[in-house]
Amino acid sequence: MAYLTLLLAILHVHKALCEETFWDTAVQLSETMTLECVYSFTDNLTQVEWSKINGTEKVTIAIYNPSHPVLIQRNYRHKVHFLNSTEGLHNMSLSFHNASEEDTGTYSCLFHTFPHGSWEKKIKVVQSDSFEIAAPSNGNLYAEPGQNVTLSCQLQRKWPVQQVMWEKVQPHQVDILAYCNLSQKTRYTSRYQRKTWSNCSKESMQSVLIIPSAMAADSGLYRCRSEASSGENETIVIRLIITDGASNNHFILPVAGGSVSLLFVILIIVITIMFYNRRRRRQVRTPLKEPRDKQSKVATNCRSPTSPIQSIDDEKEDIYVNYPTFSQRPKPRV
């Protein structure tokens, strides 16, 4: 009996530790940061509890109850406050100011609702640089608002894939959108405020993530991470760009600007060539004109009294010679 109690205690601790290490969202530590917690269902909200997880214990930070004033634990009264600006969506995000290194760790946002009961989201605050730096994009995918966007991730054939995870990567945080254990055929229910759908099939060699009715806010980096039980893993990152009317200008303007610049360069080249050819023609015409002028001047000033044309004409004229005229008298008769 003692062994059974000890075994149950070990399993309980192990389960608690595993739950602590698993998180829904990772947030970059900064002096002013917001831990997002939005319950997107339409259940009646009875109470929300924020707490920090220290090992197997939870330390209460703040409590929100629609029927009572907000309760914030003494050590956090001048550090945190609720951002329930959209109560219709049950937005119970917690905002920090003057946060420090001691605020790193895992936080729990627990909703008590009716009739579905409790709903919990775990957020891990870590000291890190921009998350996007560690997630370079492998390619871009363009879509229009309102479309059902499908992101696909080709799985490895060299080793058996055991689990697949889809994440949305932003500079300040990473959200888990889908998690699937192929060997156990278990699926994780995302706590992300945007509803998505993914497949969980060991026979399929491709994992897909579907975002229904895409919006401009869905633009960003999406990471697909697959892992085998032996430790092999692969990561693929896709940048989704929702091209609405406003964002289309961002893509059209660079193209239009490049075209205008190219036409401007071509116009300058054409004008330069025309100017060069025109100048060259002037240089060619000037030497030819000067000899003709000189020739005309020489012909005018040094002309001989008898032109060659006249001499030729004189040769063709008849030549007359004056002979003496003798009178013909009859001879005298003897």
pLDDT digits (tens, 9 = 90+) for 269-317: 888 888 778 777 776 665 544 455 544 444 444 444 444 444 444 444 4
Q: What pLDDT score was predicted for residue 16?
A: 39
Tell whether 295 is covered by a domain: no
Instruction: Judge if 147 and 209 occupy the same domain.
Output: yes
Tell whether 78 is covered by a domain: yes
Highest mean pLDDT among 210-224, 257-271, 319-333: 210-224
Which residues does 196 contact at the CB level (< 8 Å), separation at least 6?
Answer: 166, 177, 178, 190, 209, 210, 211, 212
Q: What pLDDT score was predicted for residue 113?
A: 92
**Residue whose pair of structure tokens reads 């006249």 in the numeric block:** 310
Last residue of a domain, one of 193, 219, 244: 244
CA dist 244 and 292 (Å) reads 72
Whether the pLDDT of residue 103 is over 90: the answer is yes
Instruction: Judge if 6 and 119 occupy the same domain.
Output: yes
Q: What pLDDT score was predicted for residue 43?
A: 86
Within 13 Å of residue 59, how many CA atoms lie on the same side as its CB? 11
Among residues 64, 72, 178, 71, the alpha carbon closest in space to that of 111 is found at 64
Instruction: Judge if 57 and 162 occupy the same domain.
Output: no
Q: Report the relative pairing of strands 117-126 and 105-114 from DSSP bridges.
A: antiparallel
Q: What pLDDT score was predicted for residue 22?
A: 78
pTM score over 0.75: no
Tell whether 110 is covered by a domain: yes
Q: What pLDDT score was predicted for residue 244?
A: 74
Tell whether 6 is covered by a domain: yes
More confident residue, 33 or 330: 33
CA dist 235 and 96 (Å) reads 32
What dihedral do alpha carbons 274, 278, 280, 284 form, nearest 10°?
Answer: 150
Instruction: Judge if 24 and 73 occupy the same domain.
Output: yes
Last residue of a domain, one of 83, 99, 126: 126
Tell whether 44 is covered by a domain: yes
Q: Report the relative pairing of strands 94-96 and 80-82 from DSSP bridges.
A: antiparallel
Tell whether 172 is covered by a domain: yes
Q: What is the pLDDT of residues 74-98, one digit of tens each?
A: 999 999 999 865 455 689 999 999 9
Range of weakest confidence among 1-10, 42-51, 223-232: 1-10
Instruction: Judge if 103 and 191 occupy the same domain.
Output: no
Tell whether 318 is covered by a domain: no
User: Which tokens belong to 171?
Assistant: 């500079």
Tell whether 75 is covered by a domain: yes
Instruction: Judge if 105 and 145 occupy the same domain.
Output: no
CA quadruple 93, 94, 97, 101: dihedral positive or negative?
Answer: negative
User: Which tokens belong to 206?
Assistant: 């491709």
For residue 236, the domain's CATH number is 2.60.40.10
Instruction: Judge if 15 and 122 occupy the same domain.
Output: yes
Instruction: Judge if 119 and 8 occupy the same domain.
Output: yes
**Average pLDDT taken over every residue of the chain:** 78
Last residue of a domain, one of 244, 266, 286: 244
Q: Residue 217 sits in which domain range?
A: 139-244
Among residues 144, 119, 123, 146, the alpha carbon closest in space to that of 39 is found at 119
Instruction: Judge if 158 and 80 occupy the same domain.
Output: no
Instruction: Judge if 145 and 119 occupy the same domain.
Output: no
Q: What pLDDT score was predicted for residue 199?
A: 87
Whether the pLDDT of residue 121 is over 80: the answer is yes
Which residues does 171 contact at the CB level (< 8 Å), separation at least 6?
Answer: 28, 130, 131, 132
Instruction: Judge if 109 and 186 occupy the same domain.
Output: no
Q: What pLDDT score was predicted for residue 259?
A: 61
**How many structural domains compose the chain?**
2
- pLDDT-derived band at 328 (thresholds 50, 70, 90) equals low
Range of weakest confidence among 25-39, 172-186, 229-243, 310-324: 310-324
Instruction: Judge if 41 and 79 occupy the same domain.
Output: yes
